[in-house]
Chains A and B, each alone.
Chain A
Amino acid sequence: MAVSRRKFLALGAGGAAAAAGLTGCGSRSSLGAADELSMWCWTGSVNDSLIATAEKGIPGAGKKLAMTRIGGDYKTKVLTSLAGKSLVPDIIGINDDVATYFPNADQFHDLRELGADKVEADFLPWKWKLGITPENKMLAFPMDTGPTALFYRRDIFEKAGLPTEPADVAAAAPDWDSYIQLGKKLKQAVPGSAITDNITSIFSYALAQLPKRYMTAAGQYIGDADHIRQAWDLAVRVVKEGLSANAQSGSTDANAVVTNGKLVAFIGAVWWAQLGPKNAAPKTKGLWRVTPAPGGPGNRGGSFLAITKYCKDPEAAFAFITWLESAKNQAESFLDPVLFPSTPASYTDSRLTAPDPFFGGQRIVDVFAESAKKYPGAYFSPYDTIIGNPLSNELVNVEIGSKSSDQAWKDAQHQITRELTRAGAI
C-alpha cells in the first residue's frame, strides 16, 4: 500500500500524540469508564456466562463489568500496571502465589473494611485465611480451591488383583507406606506401571498435605526442618522403588505417560482430572476412579480476587466479587471451566453431585469435598516460590541420577539460604 505524504504526516502526528498521551498521564486512575468496573483475569479462571451477565449489569451494584482475559505472562502484566500507578484494573485475579503480594498489601483494599466478615462463614476457613496477611489485613477473596485425592485406574487394579472399589482402595492404602507397597504390587502385575509422573509430583503433593510449609507466619525459615526432609525422602524413595515414570513436568512425556496407560495411579489435585486423563487419555473413559489420598487430605492450587487501591468504587467491586463467588455461582463455575468451589454449600449442589461418566459414574465431588473440608491449611509465605524451586530442581537431579539425595539436599539448602539472604527474608 502506497502511503501518501499527507497520510504519512497524519500517522506520524497520531503516533506522537499517542506517545505523549501515554507518558503525559500522571494521574492515579483506574482502568475503564466511570460506570464500569474493570477486571483482569487469566483465561479459564472464571465462568464466562456469569461474566456475560455482569457485563450487562452487576447484580446489586449499579455498575457494569469490563472484563479482560489476559493471555500469557499474566502476573507480569498485573505488576506492570501496578508499577505504572495509572490505568490499574479495579479487580484482579490472583493465583495461589497470593502471598507474594503481601509485602505490598498497601496496594489493595482491606476487604474486611468493606464488610467481608459477613460472608466469612460461607467459605472454607483455611482458604479464607490464605488471603489474609500476617498483619491481619484481608487482601484477597477466595475463588476456587485444589483439593487432592488419589486417582487410579480401576481396570489395572483389577488386573493386579488389588481392591478395585474406591472405599476398599482407600482402606488398603491409608498412608504413603502402604501406598508404596500397593504400587510395588501393581508394578509386579503390570510391568512398567508407575504411581507418579515424576519425583517432584510426589514431593509437591506430600507437601500439600502438611499443616506447615517453608516459613512460619512470624517469618522464620523452616524449609530445612524434618517435615520437609520427610517429604523429600518420600519422593526419593518412590523413585528408588522404580515407581516413577521419570516424565519431567512440562515435557511431552508427562502427557504421554497418561495417554499410553503407564501412569495407573496418581495423587493429584481436582484440576488434574481435566488436565490429565480427560484431555490426554479420552479413551480411558469409565476406567478411572477417585478415592481419598494416602497420607490425608491436601490442597494444591486455587485462586483469589483482590480489589486494588485504585478502584473507583470499592463497595460495588466488593458487591461484585461476593456475588461472583457465592455458593450458587461457584457451583456454576464448576461446570465450566471446572473450578472447585471454596464454598462448602456448593458441594451438595446438583451441578456438582451429578455422576461423572469419565469416572464410571462415580460422584467424585464427594471425595474432593471431604478433602477440601478436612485439609488442615498451611501458611504460604511471600518466599515460597524462591524456596520451592531449588528444592524441586534438585529433586529432578536425584531422579535423573546426576546427584545423590544428600548432596542435592545440601545444594538446595545452600541456594535457598543465598536467595533468602538476598531477598532480606533471613
Chain B
Amino acid sequence: MSANTPDGPPNRFRQAMPQYAAVSPFFILFAIFGAFPVLFSIWLSLHSWDGIGQLKWVGLEQYSYLLTDPSFWKSITNTLLIWVISTVPMLLLALVIANALHNATRFRSFYRIAYFIPNITSVVAVTMVFGSIFSNNFGLLNAFLQSIGLDKIEWLSQPWGIKIAIASIVAWRWTGYNAIIFLAGLQAISSDIYEAAKVDGASSRQMFWRITVPLLRPVILFTAVTSTIGGLQIFTESQVLFGSSGAIGGPGDGGLTIVSYLYDSAFGKNQFGYGAAIGWALFILIVLFSVINWRLIGGGDDDRITSRVRRRANRKIAAEKAAADSQTAGKEHADAH
C-alpha cells in the first residue's frame, strides 16, 4: 500500500521481491523435503503408527519404552565400540599417510587418487568383499590364519569379531578421505616454520609433534567431528553383512547399530513412531558427542593456545628475570666486595 502513496517511504520488501523470488526455490524445497520431515518425525515419535492406519497418540510412551529397551542400549554400546575401534586407528593412520604424502616427491597425484578411491567405491560392494574376507568357514582371513597354523576365528558370529569386521570396513573406506583432508591442512602450514625449526636443529619427529600436530588442530577437530557423526550413523555395513530380514544385527545382535535398529523398528517391524523416537535419541547423542569432541580436541582453541603460549612466555620471562636478577645480584655482591 505504501508503494501507492507517492510520499510514503518506499516498500523495501516489495523492492527486494525479485531477489527473494530468485532464492526461494531452495527454501521452498528445503521446507518440503528438509524441514517438514524433521518436524513431522517429532510429531510421529509421540504416536504409534503402523504406516497405513490412523496415528494413535501415545505421548512420551515411545521414549519411556526406549529407555528400558535392552536392544536400544545394546545398539548404543555396539555403535560406540565400533566407532572407537574404527575412528582412533583411522585418524592416526590418516595423519601418518598425509604426512608421507606431503613429503612424497614422486607420483604424488597418483598416491592421492589411490588413497581416495576406497571412499568413492560403493559401500555395498566393499561390504560384500569384506564379507567374503571375514566369512567364518570359507573366508580369506581364516584361510590365511589356518595356513600359518593358527585357529580360525568366527568373525561373523562372535560379538567382537563382528565389530572388528565392521570397524575395518569403516576404516578402510574413510582413512584415505581423512588423509586427503589432513594433507590439505598440512599444505596450509607455512614452510617457513619448518625451515626455522630445522635451523634450530629440530628432528623430524619433533617437527611432527611440535609443529604439524598443533597447527593441524582445527583440521583434526573437523575430521574427528565428521567421523563421530559418521560413526554414530553406521548402518550399511551391518545391513549388507547380515541381510535386512530378521537378524539385522547379525548373530547375537553383535552388529546392531543405532541406525540399523531404527531401520529395523520402522521398516522391518513397521513401528514408525518408535523409529522416529530412536532417530531423535540418535540426534541427541550426536549433539552430545560433537560437544565432547569440541571440548576435548578444539574447545576454546584460541583461548587454550594463547593461554599456553602466555604461560610459556611468562615462565621464560620469569626465568630470564631470575637469571638476570641473580646475575645482577652476583654483580652487586662482587661489587660490594
> Can you name the residue of chain A whose Cβ is closest to the Cβ of B243?
A250
How many whole Å from B263's CB to the nearest CB in chain A? Answer: 10
A252 at the interface (CB under 8 A from B): yes
B270 within 8 A of A: yes
Cα–Cα distance between A72 and B46 once the two chains are bound (Å): 28
Question: Is B157 located at the chain interface by the 8 A CB criterion?
Answer: yes
**A23 CA / B40 CA spacing, docked (Å):** 14
| A9 CB contacts on chain B under 8 angstroms | 22
Complex-state Cα separation, A73 to B264, whole angstroms: 12
The segment out of B218-226, B244-252, B310-318 that lies at the interface is B244-252
A251/B154 contact (C-beta < 8 A), A19-B32, A82-B51 known: no
Nearest-neighbour CB distance to chain B for A208, whole angstroms, equals 15
B29 at the interface (CB under 8 A from A): yes
- Total A residues in contact with B, Cβ cutoff 8 Å: 51
* Shortest Cβ distance from A8 into B: residue: B22
Binds A, one of B135-143, B184-192, B287-295, B323-331: B135-143
Q: How large is the interface on B (under 10, 10 to 19, 20 to 34, 35 or more residues)?
A: 35 or more
Interface membership of B9, Cβ < 8 A: no
Nearest residue, chain B, Cβ from A20: B28
A83 B51 Cβ-Cβ under 8 A: yes
A100-108, A164-172, A369-377 - the one binding chain B: A100-108
Contacts of B241 in A (CB 8 A): 250-251
B253: chain A residues at CB < 8 Å are 393
CB contact list, A240-270 vs B, under 8 A: 245-253, 256-257, 260
Partner of B29, one of A13, A15, A104, A256: A15
Knowing A79-B52, A104-B53, A400-B154 are in contact, say whether A249-B243 is a contact too (CB < 8 A). Answer: yes
Residues 7-29 of A contacting B (Cβ, < 8 Å): 9, 11-13, 15-16, 19, 22-23
Given contacts A248-B251, A392-B246, A400-B252, contact A386 B137 (CB under 8 A): no
Interchain CA distance A367-B101 in the complex, whole Å: 65
Determine whether the beta carbon of B269 is less than 8 Å from that of A251.
no
B132 on the A face (CB < 8 A): yes
A12 contact set on B, CB distance < 8 A: 22, 24-25
Determine if A397 is an interface residue (Cβ-Cβ < 8 Å).
Answer: yes
In the bound complex, how far is the Cα of B31 from the Cα of A23, in angstroms? 11
Interchain CA distance A91-B68 in the complex, whole Å? 41
Query: Are A247 and B137 interface neighbours, CB within 8 A?
Result: yes
Contact between A400 and B246 (Cβ–Cβ < 8 Å)?
Answer: no
Q: What is the bound-complex CA distance between A385 and B248, given in angstroms?
A: 13
* Given A9-B22, A23-B32, A393 and B246 contact (CB-CB distance below 8 Å): yes
Q: Does A396 contact B (CB under 8 A)?
A: yes
Q: Shortest CB–CB separation between residue A15 and chain B, in angstroms?
A: 5
- A198: shortest Cβ distance to chain B, in Å? 9
| B130 vs chain A, min Cβ distance (A) | 10
Interface membership of B242, Cβ < 8 A: yes
* Interface members, chain A 393-410 (any B CB < 8 Å): 393, 396-397, 399-400, 402
Q: Which residue of chain B has its CB nearest to the CB of A100?
A: B270
Within 8 A of A (CB), among B87-139: 128, 131-132, 135-139
Question: A82 CA to B20 CA in the complex, in Å?
Answer: 36
* Nearest CB in chain A: distance from B276 CB, A: 14
Q: Mark B233-261, 1 if CB is under 8 A from A, else 0.
A: 00000000111011100111100000000
Partner of A79, one of B250, B252, B270, B274: B270
Say yes or no: is A389 at the interface (Cβ < 8 Å to chain B): yes
Report chain B residues within 8 Å CB of A422. 65, 274
For A251, the chain B residues whose CB sits under 8 A away are: 131, 135-136, 156, 241-242
The complex places the Cα of A397 from the Cα of B159 at a distance, in Å, of: 10
Q: Are A247 and B136 in contact (CB under 8 A)?
A: yes
Please, which residues of chain A bring their CB within 8 A of the CB of B132?
Answer: 252
Known: A22-B32, A250-B245, A388-B246. 19 other contacts (CB 8 A): A9-B22, A12-B24, A12-B25, A13-B25, A15-B25, A15-B29, A19-B29, A23-B32, A107-B52, A200-B246, A246-B137, A246-B157, A250-B241, A260-B138, A386-B269, A396-B247, A400-B158, A402-B158, A424-B48
**Can you list 8 contacts pairing A with B, beta carbon distance less than 8 Å?**
A9-B22, A248-B136, A248-B251, A249-B243, A252-B131, A385-B269, A392-B247, A424-B48
Nearest 3 pairs of A and B residues by beta carbon: A250-B243, A79-B51, A12-B25
Interface set of B (CB-CB < 8 Å, partner A): 22, 24-25, 28-29, 32-33, 48, 50-53, 65, 69, 71, 128, 131-132, 135-139, 154, 156-159, 241-243, 245-247, 250-253, 267-271, 274
Please list the residues of chain A having a beta carbon within 8 angstroms of any beta carbon in chain B: 9, 11-13, 15-16, 19, 22-23, 73, 75-76, 79-80, 82-83, 100-101, 103-104, 107, 200, 245-253, 256-257, 260, 385-386, 388-389, 392-393, 396-397, 399-400, 402, 415, 418-419, 422-424
